[in-house]
A and B are shown apart, each in its own frame.
Chain A
Amino acid sequence: MSSHDHIASHDAHAHGEGMDKKRIWSVFFVLLALTALEFLIALGFVHHWGILQKGMLVNVIYIALTLVKAFYIVAFFMHLKFEKSGFIVTCSIVFFFIIFFIILMLIEGEFLNGAFTHQPTFPHL
């Protein structure tokens, strides 16, 4: 009972550090800026002004911006950056596997696209 209380209060003190109100709002403005950038590209550059086309380049930009946003949410809002390094690694390995899987499936999807549209019934012949 007492050891649980000790851990709980120790936890509150040790992990309270790092996210004061100023930091919280500045991370919010970073997220807002990144989201605004995504909208600028999607609505402005692609939709209204036609400077960029829908395709691989803008998709890579969107996914890159999304991953940066994800990093800020996980590291600061979920406080992961301030935990013990062993715990950070434990959780981060998962995200790396997911990113690996995303890239894999995008490549696979592109291949299948080519296979469905260009190649004959027996492409290996």
Chain B
Amino acid sequence: MSTTVSQLDKVKEGPWSGGKSPWNLEYGKIMMWFFLVSDAFTFSAFLIYYGAQKFAQPSWIDADKVFQSIPGIAEHGQPLVFVGIMTFILILSSVTMVLAVEAGHRNAKKEVVTWMIWTIIGGLCFVGCQAIEWTHLHHQGFWFGRNPATGITEANAIVEALQPYFTKEVSYTAALQFSNLFFTITGFHGFHVSIGILLNIIVLGMTLNNTFERRGTYLMIEKVGLYWHFVDLVWVFVFTFFYLV
């Protein structure tokens, strides 16, 4: 007549036994991570296609020749400066986002509001800069499905139109692919940044409305923060693949 519980009847206590989150994370946070991981696959597919095309072609557009202006300051001769400013703005907005999350951990509502506002401003500046890049490229003749030589029928004229953007020999197909891929990938990324700005504004409104004070936790700021950092992460890769490599 034993009073000890047999192994089979003992209530299981491990992380996977149910009743609580196995990784000690809130459900919404885990799901945000899983979404970001799936989005990483999508962006990677785009960027890897770009890389495969670029290295397979005998000739490709020289990014330093296409992007060499600083809006308002220099028309050409300054590659990488403007995109460097854009990268710096986005990384800085990521830092202000982390600071907002950190303030949320201390339930410091005023600081959360301050840092969120700076993050939103950073995001808007980045999208504005991207719009300037797009406009500049469009004025040069690049767009979805077209490059500066589209519509020209004479071979010499095509070479003349495209030569400024190539270091080696001109390739109409390469120019077209570069144009399509650039606008698609940066457009897709810019779309993500815009959604991120919208989410940040919504969450800022919720903070000002004391929603998180009532809940007792600023966890939502963390979840939106994860999305914003992902957007920054993607830009780091886009910048490397389009402007550096």
A contacts, CB < 8 Å to B:
3, 5, 7-12, 14-16, 19-21, 24-25, 28, 31-32, 35, 38-39, 42-43, 47, 59, 62-63, 66, 69-70, 73-74, 76-79, 83-84, 86-87, 91, 94-95, 98, 101-102, 105-106, 108-110, 112-113, 116-117
Tell me if B58 counts as interface (CB < 8 A to partner A): yes
CA of A8 to CA of B53 in the docked complex: distance in angstroms? 46
Is A116 a contact of B56 with CB atoms below 8 Å? Answer: yes
| Smallest CB separation, A123 vs chain B (Å) | 15
For A77, the chain B residues whose CB sits under 8 A away are 94-95, 97-98, 225, 229, 232
For B91, the chain A residues whose CB sits under 8 A away are 28, 31-32, 35
Which residues of B in the span 8-57 have a Cβ within 8 Å of any Cβ on A? 15, 20-26, 29-30, 33, 37, 40-41, 44, 48-49, 51-57
Chain A to chain B contacts (Cβ below 8 Å), 17 pairs? A7-B26, A8-B215, A12-B218, A15-B25, A16-B106, A19-B102, A35-B87, A43-B79, A43-B80, A47-B79, A73-B94, A77-B229, A87-B33, A91-B37, A101-B44, A106-B51, A110-B55
Is B56 a contact of A35 with CB atoms below 8 Å? Answer: no
For B226, the chain A residues whose CB sits under 8 A away are 78
Please tell me the number of chain B residues within 8 Å of chain A, measured between CB atoms: 62
For B30, the chain A residues whose CB sits under 8 A away are 87
Known: A12-B105, A94-B41, A105-B51. A24 touches B98 (CB 8 A): yes
Is A109 a contact of B24 with CB atoms below 8 Å? Answer: no
Known: A39-B84, A42-B244, A101-B48. A116 touches B58 (CB 8 A): yes
For A106, the chain B residues whose CB sits under 8 A away are 51-52, 55
B contacts, CB < 8 Å to A:
15, 20-26, 29-30, 33, 37, 40-41, 44, 48-49, 51-58, 64, 79-81, 84, 87-88, 91-92, 94-95, 97-99, 101-102, 104-106, 215-219, 222, 225-226, 229-230, 232-233, 236-237, 240, 243-245
For B98, the chain A residues whose CB sits under 8 A away are 19, 24, 76-77
Known: A25-B95, A39-B84, A47-B79. A8 touches B56 (CB 8 A): no
Is B233 a contact of A74 with CB atoms below 8 Å? Answer: yes
Report, nearest first, the 10 A-B pairs whose CB atoms are least far apart. Answer: A109-B55, A112-B56, A16-B105, A87-B23, A105-B52, A66-B240, A84-B23, A62-B244, A8-B217, A28-B95
Is B230 a contact of A95 with CB atoms below 8 Å? Answer: no
Known: A24-B102, A98-B44. A62 touches B52 (CB 8 A): no
Is A12 a contact of B94 with CB atoms below 8 Å? Answer: no
For B79, the chain A residues whose CB sits under 8 A away are 43, 47
